[in-house]
Structure 1
Amino acid sequence: MARTTKKGAATPEEYIRAAIVDAEERCLLLEAVISGHTRRFRDEAQLLEIIRHLGSVSLPLRPRIWSAGCSTGEEPLSLLSLLKARGVTAIDLVATDVASGAVEATKAALSNCDPLTRVLVIRHDLVHEPPPQWSFDAILCRNVLMYYEARAARAAFDRLTTALSDRGRIFMGAADLLALRPEEGDRNMRLQNAVEQPKRRAPQTPETPRSGPAERADSGGSLSALLCEAEAALGMRKLEQAEELLLRAEELAPDRAETHYLFGVLHRKRGDRGAALSSLRRATFLSPTLWKAFLLLADEWRLAGHAGRADAAERQATRLKEEAESAPEGSVQ
């Protein structure tokens, strides 16, 4: 371990003891062990859902967004780019990361933002420090908590909830939810867009379509586990692993809508527009209430130049999402 040698410690254990009492060394250790894997427009479907949230609720004239664990700035930069394309530039954005190098990189990445966008980039430790002293309408903490053990992840999440506005929401990745609830790793709630709302922490009931072809029941929970693992693999861009898992899921239940939805996500990440469109159309046919599939389908239709179909799919996604959010907690949609 390079840090052990530089610190002059004889063993890793001796180094850990030294790092515990040396705040600067702890920061250097964190920067050494955090992967920092990121890219622009990562998990695009969720970025689009964040934009829809900001546009669908009554927010202040300047919505406040916190990108927690911003790495080198690709996530906040992607979100600002998508918002600007929709004419939204009057935004207050806070971007934080525990690694000082990531903070400096984010400052550089966001240095040429729109003049109406106010940006603050600071170093922040989610587990041990209180959140910034503002109320946020959207908090992005995606693929961050998965690096923590369950107790630390829950402590960080609880801190995040205290920083939300009345209509605010926290957006996380599937792997983060696994870190928060490791004992529930195969529940279908992992497929619910990886969006957590503080007052609705109970696992969601698996979706049952109102109409359309009947879906086969899980085989001893293995199908749900495969889909959960596939979504986590997609979030980490392990596309070959995700494809293998989805093929196994399809073999178990060929008519499972979530499988075809995730195939659509996979094809989008690979840039295969035709295959993505086909998979998402099949997902919406199999489950007419799967609003996530309609949301991505709208984007695919728009990219294909079919504005009318895109608008129709987006209206359907909006209606289904509103119905899901207004339903009593624990009810089946």
Structure 2
Amino acid sequence: MDMNFGSQKIIADLLAARTGQQLTEDRSWRIGTALSGIFRQIGISNVDQLVCLLDQPSHATLSQQVVEALLNNETYFFRDRAMFNQLSDLVLPQIAKERRQERTLSILCAGCSTGQEALSLGMVLLEQKARWAGWKIEITGIDISHGAIATARAGTYSQFEIQRGLPVAQMLAHFTETPIGWEANEELRSLVRFRVHNLLDPMPAIGPFDLILCRNVLLYFDAATRRRAFSRLMESVNPEGWVMLGAGETIVGHTDQLALVKGGIGLYRPTGSRLEANFMKRA
């Protein structure tokens, strides 16, 4: 076996073991590019040398750095705007109706990366203040990447990041320009908390969630890992709650515990919940 190919497989196996994500052979080209910063930092030039270092007894920190470098943290504000419009115009009003007695709203963003998705949801809610007056609202963002969660908690974004998907009016309403970037205002930050957590592990003592967003996360799992991820989601969602997947993701062959909301975009409810036939007709 070619040494470089064997080393790439070891790196791919490390990523799969830690995160469940599959770095298939046709995506192995990412390894050298993604790890180039680590190569420079520790004074090596290739994957073979890296694997030798990972074989040392005190490799835990380096292993974590490698895994985090390989994770796909692509995100931006209001990514897939049509899905956020669906949440704003249809799903959240329906949740407000269904939970008007409890007046609590709990949302999970799984695979939240550097926080833009969770903060986008926060902006949607703040722009519906009359609807949510007197409610207890909490948005939780989880991600396996320590670096991504650190960025999310800081809530400060570069000019490039803040302009990706965020109209000027919302940027000025919810962020303040500082010497180090655009910082989310306290009112927005107070709605969201972030924590390092692997979706495949049992959820900490939080939830159940009325709405779970798990978009563009399952794409990187094999079939068995997707089934495991769906099991974790079903442990965490309110029996009368909602789950939103990425537009290119599906439950077919992975779980029978969710039912597609007709006319929705990547939108599901737990099997047996009170699905309203006329839900999408109110669009």
TM-score by length of 1: 0.50
Structure 2: which amino acid aligns with 1:55? P
Superposed CA deviations along residues 250-272 of structure 1, whole A, max 9, x for unmatched, are xxxxxxxxxxxxxxxxxxxxxxx
Residues 174, 191 of structure 1: 8 Å contact kept? no
Q: How many residues align?
A: 200
Match of 1:53 in 2: 91
Amino acid at match of 2:127: A
| Secondary structure of the corresponding residue to residue 92 of structure 1 | strand
SS at structure 1 position matched to 2:65: helix
Equivalent AA in structure 1 for residue 106 of structure 2: R
Relative to its length, the structure with more strand (as a share) is: 2
Query: Of the candidates 79, 87, 93, which is equivalent to residue 139 of structure 2?
Result: 93
SS at match of 1:174: coil
TM-superposed CA distance for 1:144, in Å, is 1.1
Q: After superposition, give the CA deviation of every residue in 1:32-88 in whole Å (9 maximum; x if it has no partner).
A: 112211111111222232333232132232200111111111101111111111113
Distance of aligned partners of 1:99 and 1:10 in 2 relative to their CA distance in 1, 3 Å threshold: closer
2:220 partner letter: Y
When residues 116 and 323 of structure 1 are mapped into structure 2, their CA distance, relative to the original with a 3 A threshold, is same
Structure 1 residue 190: deviation in Å?
Answer: 11
- Please tell me whether residue 67 in structure 1 is matched to residue 109 in structure 2: yes
Where 1:122 maps in the other structure, the secondary structure is strand
1:257-268 to structure 2, matched below 5 A, reads none
Structure 1 counterpart of 2:71? 34
Matches within 5 A, 1:103-252: 103-109=149-155, 112-114=185-187, 117-127=190-200, 129-133=201-205, 134-177=207-250, 181=253, 192-199=264-271
Distance 1:155 1:18 in 2: 29
Q: Tell me, yes or no, if the aligned pair for 1:65 and 1:137 is still in contact at 8 Å.
A: yes
Shift of 1:196: 2.9
Q: Which amino acid in 2 is paired with 1:172?
A: L
Whole-Å separation in 1 of the counterparts to 2:78 and 2:248? 18
Q: For residue 11 of structure 1, what is the amino acid of its counterpart?
A: D
CA-based RMSD of the aligned residues comes to 3.8
Instruction: Assess if the C-alpha contact under 8 Å between 1:132 and 1:163 holds in 2.
Output: no
Structure 1: where are the runs of 5+ without partners?
Answer: 183-187, 201-317, 325-333
Could you say which residue in structure 2 is the equivalent of 1:84?
A: 126
One-letter amino acid of the structure 2 residue matched with residue 56 of structure 1: Q
Instruction: Give 1:196's aligned amino acid.
Output: Y
TM-score by length of 2: 0.58
Structure with greater helix percent: 1
How far apart are 1:323 and its partner, in Å?
Answer: 6.9
Bigger relative CO (Cα 8 Å, ≥ 6 apart): 2
State, as a whole percentage, how many aligned pairs show the same letter: 26
